[in-house]
Structure 1
Amino acid sequence: LIEELGGEHTPAIGFGLGMDRLVQEMKRVHAKMYIEPKPRVFLAQLGDLAKKKSLNVFAELQKNGILTAESFGRGSLKSQLRVADRLGVEITLIIGQKEALDETVIVKDMVSGTQETVNHERLIVAVRKILKNNVVVSHEGE
């Protein structure tokens, strides 16, 4: 091609992926791109008993349609909070040994910075209340 435009003979190789045809076909059939929903809640835990309790809490959140990320590894609370911050979640739930024994959960609002300890029975209501009050900016259609 360079030679045809007046340059020196230059060996080359190329290939085509046909992405333009794929995009055209997607437009033709009005295909929508699937975007993985982002979790709004993160579940952190410290200790063996807390880990067991957090599995139940995680299942309850999922059952109630609250998309939750978790860290069931052995990381420190600080490292788990960094993960929550990196994910951009609105709420971090923290279960330590004390909370596991007391059947409570620390609910940290990552937007306002406030936190409260709630009984396990009130957890879903407390989480939904915070999620409802937090304004989520949508960039859909940009």
Structure 2
Amino acid sequence: MLVKIATAPIELEAVYQIRSEVFVEEQNVPPEREIDEFDKTATHFIAYEDELPVAAARLRFTEDGYGKLERICVLKSQRGKSLGKKLMLKMEEEIKNRDFHKAKLNAQTHAQDFYQKLGYEVTSGEFLDAGIPHVTMVKYL
């Protein structure tokens, strides 16, 4: 498996396709909500399995000193293969490479245990985003 920063137009197209399949088609997030103003400036990640794009995410850096991990998704057919974990580790590596030492994400509550196993701690109460229950989680790197 290969995880890398998506820079080429074909890679970015694959990122958006994966996100659409997971968030829009599978989770019924409105398309206009899934793609937002941060996509133009975020660092996008893509994961490949046997040269096929299978997972994606984006990373932003916030004024309060966090690397904010967002839009983390793995195609349904590829789940359970530790792809999400590898994607997270690559993003955390990029956060440290940019001299940031804190990571933050808004986790869907059904995925909370996954993030806790990677060292993230819940720092908020439950809230809705696009009609889906979430919690904010933080990890010091």
TM-score (norm 1): 0.30
TM-score (norm 2): 0.30
Higher strand share: 2
